[in-house]
Every structure is written in structure tokens, then in C-alpha cells.
């Protein structure tokens, strides 16, 4: 399998034609005569045996049909299907019971068909690999730089001796820096594995895993000079990798931390500042997450836009729910903070079951928009996942916003006055009721925002809230109740500690250690990371 790519490339080259050259010379008139041949090619795919299918793929690759790439892509995506009357169709949208289809050969839309009447040309992972390689081969000659980059990348570790001269030619012709670099690297990997000094030298400092595999093979080779050079290269690379791994762990930690911060920051308002032990906080987050889902249902095909709109919408939905909770229950519990625990726990049960009954007990799918998936590649050994980077940034923005509101607006002052001495605050003319509503709405709304962010990382389901409530309280308390900075620092540091511990302790033990750490830390600082100091706090 490993060598399939070079094989395919070779056959392809032997034909001595490139598709893009071909594409120009083909005209529409010849397509009908081609259809019979094309049908034959496709027929060959509709067999039981995967080996036979593999051969059929090669045949398609070798044919000079300009639609070959599209067919292969359709096959790869599982959209190449057959109707009962033997027609090959392309499934345009395969969700639900009836799917819209189009004819593969003519491209003519055929309306919707029942999935019962369609039979898919199945592939397995082997064929998938083969297809990818095949497409890559075609793409190596593509005019599109992106496609060339992808296919050059695929060549790493897949090159064999026969291919080297061809690749050297390609390198000479290639204009794009990146494609050239990858192709050079691909050749170097082959050479290093073959024990050639040139290969080893070219791979020095390369962080790509394939290079490392090649170098370690070279290091075990017979020629002591090459082996030594390879070993030296390797140890240099290991050093680099260690640094990269450290950075990666830090990133993991900050990103886990940002999730904790997001989950906790709303609670830092409702619990930390207002003193309401809000057990329904998690369910408010859940509402935010479901809002994202609902948005995506409302705007099918535009997951990104839906996600962006979910930010204000999630805030509003959760904030309104917060207002309802405050008006309906919490206002009657003034001065009885512990009772809020009881009531909000009841509310959280109700909200959970409400979602189960009204929507579904099952998780909902929230789609990650294109621009949020994948990673930002820093180098071959370090890439930062984009969705988490967005979440990290989002958490910081939300934090900064809250900080501004609490520090710079009158609401911040008034809510603190009201919680510290309600009667006196009212005597000073502060509208305590309004302050309560607004603050609770703010805290709840932020929970909603957290839910929007979480929908990109984890399950959107009725249990979402339950999974975060304990952690949230822990972060708020660990940071020091009533201190927003504390929440930020606590969340981020717990995240980092957890991720640093995880590789050597395992996920379960790491969690236990973090909990024990919290217990011991509180012994040292009985009022959290950033305690309220002085007479005032001691009361």
C-alpha cells in the first residue's frame, strides 16, 4: 500500500500526458462518444471485491477522461451511487430519507430519490488511501498551488528509487517555494533511508515525523559516517521536539484553562459577586449551546454565520432565562443564600428534563465552520488547533468585557454595594431590585456565551451543564470568591497544571492530583488565590 502512490504516479507518467494539457484539448462534442467508455470504467467499480475496485480506480486514473478526478472524488466522498436501473448518480445531499441526485455522466439533476433505491459504490480505508493518492498524483500537475502543496505533502515517505529522477525534474520546474521544499524533503527522505549522506544532510533540522523515521533508519545503517551524522541530526531534532512539546502542553493547558474560565466566569458574577449559589448555571450554558444548534438549524448550510449570530443570541436566551429565574425564584430568597442552592438545583433538574422532553434526550450535532476546524501549523511538530484558539481568544474577550462592566460602570459598584449591605444600599437610593435583575441577567448571559463556545468542543446535550457545574464552582472558589482576576488565573492555572500532569500521570490521576492540590492549596490560602484581605474580610 505504501508504495501505491509512486506506482500510480509512474503509470500516470508513463502515459506521457498530463491532465491539464488534456483538458484543454478536449471539447464538448467528443464527450458523448466518451460516455460509453466512461460507463465501462464506472461499471468496473461496481463489484464486490475491493481488489477489483482498486484495479478499476487505476484504470480510471489511466483513462484520459477529464472527469476522472471528479469521479474519484465522488467515490471518495461516498456520493457515487447507482440507481436500481443501473444509472450512476452523484448524491448531492445525503441526509434524511430522500436524497437529491444528479447523473454522473451528464451532470443532469434527477430530483430526489429514496435511499432505498440507491446503492452506493462502497470503498474501504485502503481504497480511500489509494484514491487520495490518485487524486494527489493528478493534482501534482494541477495549476492550483493548494492542490500541488497537498499532493507534495502526501509524497513524504512515499517515494521510491524510480520516482526520484521525475521528482528532481519537477523540483526544478516548480515555482512555489513550499511545494519545492516538500518535494525536496520527500526525495531526501528516500535518500536518507537508502543510507545516502546527501539525504541525511538535507533532513537536518526537519521536524517532520517522516524525516525522523528516515533518520533513525539511517542511524541504524551500515555506514558509520552516515549513521553518526544521522544520530547527531536526530538528537538535535529531539531537542527541538522537546521545546515544541513543551509549547504544545502549554497551549493545551491554556486552552483547557480557557474552557474552565468561560464556564466559571458567569458564576463568578452570580455566585462570586451576588452570592447566589446558582446550581442552574450549567443549564444556562446548555441553553447557550442549544441556541447555537438552533441557529444552525435555522440557517442550514451556513454554520459559520449561524455561530457568529449565536453569540448575541446565546447571550440573550440565557440572560432572559436568568431574568426569569431571578424574578420567579431568587428574588424571594434575599438574605438566604443557601436556599438558592436548593431552588436553583430544582430549576436545573427542570431545565434538563425540559430539553430532553422538548428537543431530545440525544445529543445534537453542532457543525464546526470551516474556518474553525483544523490547525494552525506553526511547524512540522507543532500545530495549534483552531477551534480551541478561537475559544481561548473568546474567553479573554468575554473576561475583558466583564471586567470593564464591573469596574467601569455604575452597575459594578451598585451590585457590590447591594450584596454587601442591601438595606443600606437601598437607603442610598440604589434600585436594588433592578441591580439584581441586571446582574443576574449578565451572569446568566455570560453562561450562555460559554455554552456557545462549548458547542464547538463537546456534546450539546441535556447533560452538558452537569459536566461543568462542579468545575465551575471549584474555579471560582479557588480563585477567591468575588474576584474576577482570581477566576481567570485560577481557571488558566488549573488547566495548565492538569495538562502538564496528564502525560505522565494519566487523565484520571491527573484529575485527582489537581483536586488534592486544590484541597492543600486552600489550607495555605483559606480564601483562595486572591483573597479579600484586611479587617473588612474578617468581619
Partner 1 sequence: MLAIEKLNQFYGESHTLWDLDLEVPAGQCTCVMGRNGVGKTTLLKAVMGEVAVKSGELRYTAEAGEIELTKKAVEARSRLGIGYVPQGRQIFPLLTVEENLRTGLAARSDGLKKIPERVYELFPVLKEMKHRRGGDLSGGQQQQLAIGRALVIEPKLLILDEPGEGIQPNIVAQIGQVIRQLINEDGLTVLLVEQKLPFARKYADRFVIMDRGRPVAKGEISELSNELIKQHLTV
Partner 2 sequence: QDDDPIKVGILHSLSGTMAISETVLKDTVEMLIEQQNEAGGLLGRQLEAVVVDPASNWPLFAERARELLAQEEVDVIFGNWTSVSRKAVLPVVEELNGLLFYPVQYEGEESSENVFYTGAAPNQQAIPAVEYLINEVGIERFALVGTDYVYPRTTNRILEAFLKDEHGIAEEDIMVNYTPFGHSDWQNIVAEIRRFGEEGKPTAVISTVNGDANVPFYTELSNQGIDAADIPVIAFSVGEQELTGIDTGPLVGHLAAWNYFMSVDNDDNYDFIDAWIEYTGDDMAVTNDPMEAHYIGFNMWAEAVRKAGTTDVDTVKDAIIGVTVPNLSGGYAAMMPNHHITKPVLIGEIQDNGQFDIVWQTPSTVAGDAWSDYLPGSRDLIADWRKPMECGNFNVVNGSCGGSTAAEEAEAALAE
Partner 3 sequence: MSLTTESSTNFWLTRPFSERSTQIFLGVLLAALALVTLLHVAVPPDNPLHVGAYTVNLFGKYLSYALLAVAVDLVWGYLGILSLGHGAFFAIGGYAMGMYLMRQIGDRGTYGHPVLPDFMVFLNWDSLPWFWHGFDMAWFAFAMVLLAPGLLALVFGFLAFRSRVTGVYLSIITQALTFALMLAFFRNEMGFGGNNGLTDFREIVGFDLRSDATRLGLFLATGVALALGYILCRAIVTSKLGRVSVATRDAEARTRFLGYRVERFQLFVFVVSAMLAGLAGALYVPQVGIINPSEFSPIFSIEIVLWVALGGRATLYGAVIGAILVNYAKTIFTGVMPDAWLFALGAMFVLVTVFLPKGVAGLFRYLKRRKREEQTTDPDHQHTSKEASA
The footprint of partner 1 (CB under 8 A) covers 410, 413-414, 416-417, 420-421, 423-432, 482, 532, 534-537, 539
Q: Which does 424 bind (CB under 5 to 8 A by kind): partner 3, ligand ATP, partner 1, none?
A: partner 1
User: Strand, coil or helix: what is 236?
Assistant: helix
Interface of this chain with partner 2, residues 125 to 144, rule: CB under 8 A: 125-126, 128-129, 132
| 426 forms part of the interface with partner 2 (CB under 8 A) | no
Using a 10 angstrom Cβ sphere, with 0-12 exposed, 13-18 middle and 19 or more buried, the burial of residue 312 is middle
Window contacting partner 2 (CB under 8 A); options: 170-178, 340-348, 383-391, 434-442: 383-391
Q: From the list 37, 423, 507, 537, which residue makes contact with partner 2 (rule: CB under 8 A)? A: 507
Q: What is the DSSP string of 113-167?
A: EEGGGEEE----HHHHHHHHHHHHHHHHT-S-HHHHHHHHHHTTTT--GGGHHHH
Which residue lies nearer to partner 2 by CB, 66 or 112?
112
For residues 489 and 491, give the distance between their C-alpha atoms in angstroms, rounded to a whole number. 6
Please answer whether residues 262 and 443 qualify as being in contact, where contact means their C-beta atoms are separated by less than 8 angstroms. no
**Strand, helix or coil for residue 384:** strand
533 near partner 3, rule: CB under 8 A: no
Contacts of 432 (CB under 8 A, 6+ apart): 418, 422, 425, 426
Kind and range of the H or E run holding 489:
helix 484-524
What is the C-alpha separation between 221 and 225, in angstroms, rounded? Answer: 10
Binding window for partner 3 (CB under 8 A); candidates: 106-114, 244-252, 342-350, 489-497: 342-350
How, if at all, do strands 80-83 and 98-103 pair?
A: unpaired
What is the C-alpha separation between 484 and 221, in angstroms, rounded?
59
Give whichever of 166 and 249 is closer to partner 2, judged by the CB atom: 249
Closest to partner 1 by CB, 242 vs 434, is 434
Q: Which does 432 bind (CB under 5 to 8 A by kind): partner 2, partner 1, ligand ATP, none?
A: partner 1
345 binds, among partner 3, partner 1, partner 2, none (CB under 5 to 8 A by kind): partner 3
Instruction: Return the range that interacts with partner 3 (CB under 8 A); candidates 131-139, 160-168, 188-196, 473-481.
Output: 473-481
> Which residue from 101, 106, 130, 123 is spatially nearest to 38, judged by alpha carbons?
106
Q: Which does residue 477 touch among partner 2, partner 1, partner 3, none (CB within 5 to 8 A, set by kind)? A: partner 3
Among 2, 97, 116, 535, binds ligand ATP (CB under 6 A): 535
- Does residue 246 interact with partner 2 by CB under 8 A? no
> 51 or 421: whose CB is closer to partner 2?
51
- Between CA 366 and CA 457 the distance in angstroms is 10
- Applying CB under 8 A, among 165, 209, 346, 503 the residue interacting with partner 3 is 346
Radius of gyration, alpha carbons of the chain: 30
273 contacts 439 by C-beta, under 8 angstroms? yes
Cβ proximity of 402 and 446 under 8 Å: yes
CA angle 210, 214, 192 (to 5 degrees): 125
- Name which of 464 and 477 has its Cβ closer to partner 2: 464
Give me the residues that bind partner 2 (CB under 8 A), please: 1, 77-78, 94-97, 116, 119-120, 122-126, 128-129, 132, 157, 209-210, 212-213, 248-249, 252, 255-256, 259, 352-353, 356, 361-368, 373-375, 383, 385-388, 456-463, 466-467, 498-499, 502-503, 506-508, 511
Give me the residues that bind partner 3 (CB under 8 A), please: 279, 329, 332-333, 336, 338-343, 345-350, 352-354, 357, 466, 470, 473-474, 477-478, 481, 508-509, 511-512, 515-516, 518-520, 522-524, 526-528, 538-539
Amino acid at each position: 500500500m505504501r508504495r501505491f502512490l509512486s506506482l500510480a504516479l509512474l503509470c500516470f507518467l508513463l502515459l506521457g500526458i498530463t491532465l491539464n494539457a488534456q483538458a484543454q484539448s478536449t471539447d464538448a462534442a467528443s464527450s458523448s462518444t466518451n460516455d460509453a467508455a466512461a460507463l465501462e470504467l464506472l461499471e468496473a467499480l461496481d463489484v464486490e471485491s475491493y481488489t477489483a475496485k482498486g484495479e478499476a480506480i487505476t484504470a480510471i486514473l489511466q483513462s484520459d477522461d477529464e472527469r476522472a478526478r471528479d469521479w474519484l472524488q465522488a467515490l471518495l466522498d461516498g456520493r457515487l451511487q447507482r440507481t436500481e436501473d443501473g444509472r450512476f448518480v452523484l448524491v448531492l445531499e445525503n441526509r434524511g430519507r430522500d436524497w437529491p441526485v444528479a447523473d454522473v455522466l451528464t451532470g443532469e439533476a434527477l430530483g430526489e430519490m429514496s435511499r432505498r433505491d440507491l446503492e452506493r459504490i462502497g470503498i474501504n480505508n485502503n481504497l480511500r488511501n489509494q484514491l487520495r493518492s490518485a487524486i494527489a498524483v493528478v493534482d501534482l500537475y494541477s495549476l492550483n498551488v493548494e492542490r500541488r502543496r497537498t499532493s507534495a505533502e502526501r509524497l513524504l515517505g512515499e517515494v521510491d528509487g524510480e520516482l526520484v529522477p521525475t521528482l528532481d525534474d519537477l523540483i526544478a520546474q516548480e515555482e512555489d517555494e513550499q511545494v519545492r521544499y516538500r518535494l525536496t524533503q520527500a526525495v531526501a527522505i528516500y535518500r536518507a533511508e537508502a543510507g545516502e549522506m546527501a539525504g541525511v544532510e538535507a533532513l537536518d533540522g526537519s521536524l517532520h515525523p517522516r524525516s525522523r523515521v528516515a533518520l533513525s533508519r539511517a542511524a541504524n545503517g551500515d555506514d558509520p559516517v552516515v549513521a553518526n551524522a544521522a544520530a547527531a541530526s536526530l538528537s538535535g531534532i529531539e531537542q527541538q521536539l522537546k521545546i515544541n512539546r513543551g509549547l504544545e502542553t502549554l497551549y493545551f493547558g491554556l486552552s483547557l484553562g480557557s474552557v474552565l474560565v468561560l464556564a466559571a466566569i458567569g458564576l463568578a458574577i452570580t455566585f462570586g459577586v451576588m452570592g447566589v449559589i446558582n446550581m442552574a448555571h450549567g443549564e444556562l450554558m446548555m441553553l447557550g449551546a442549544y441556541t447555537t444548534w438552533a441557529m444552525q438549524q435555522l440557517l442550514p448550510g451556513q454554520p459559520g454565520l449561524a455561530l457568529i449570530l449565536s453569540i448575541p443570541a446565546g447571550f440573550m436566551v440565557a440572560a432572559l432565562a436568568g431574568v426569569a429565574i431571578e424574578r420567579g425564584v431568587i428574588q424571594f430568597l434575599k438574605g438566604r443564600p443557601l436556599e438558592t442552592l436548593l431552588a436553583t438545583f430544582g430549576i436545573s433538574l427542570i431545565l434538563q428534563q425540559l430539553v430532553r422532553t422538548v428537543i431530545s434526550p440525544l445529543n445534537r450535532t453542532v457543525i464546526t465552520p470551516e474556518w474553525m476546524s483544523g490547525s494552525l501549523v506553526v511547524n512540522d511538530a507543532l500545530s495549534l488547533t483552531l477551534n480551541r484558539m478561537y475559544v481561548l481568544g473568546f474567553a479573554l474577550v468575554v473576561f475583558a468585557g466583564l471586567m470593564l462592566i464591573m469596574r467601569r460602570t455604575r452597575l459594578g459598584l451598585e451590585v457590590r454595594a447591594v450584596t454587601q449591605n442591601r438595606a443600606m444600599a437601598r437607603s442610598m437610593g440604589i434600585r436594588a431590585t433592578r441591580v439584581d435583575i441586571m446582574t443576574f441577567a449578565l451572569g446568566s448571559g455570560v453562561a450562555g456565551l460559554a455554552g456557545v463556545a462549548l458547542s464547538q468542543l463537546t456534546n450539546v446535550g441535556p447533560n452538558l451543564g452537569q459536566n461543568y457545574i462542579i468545575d465551575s464552582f471549584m474555579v471560582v472558589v479557588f480563585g477567591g470568591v468575588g474576584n474576577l482576576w482570581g477566576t481567570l488565573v485560577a481557571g488558566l492555572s488549573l488547566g495548565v497544571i492538569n495538562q502538564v500532569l496528564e502525560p505522565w500521570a494519566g487523565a484520571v490521576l491527573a484529575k485527582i492530583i489537581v483536586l488534592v492540590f486544590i484541597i492543600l492549596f486552600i489550607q495555605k490560602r483559606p480564601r483562595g488565590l486572591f483573597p479579600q484581605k484586611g479587617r473588612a474580610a474578617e468581619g
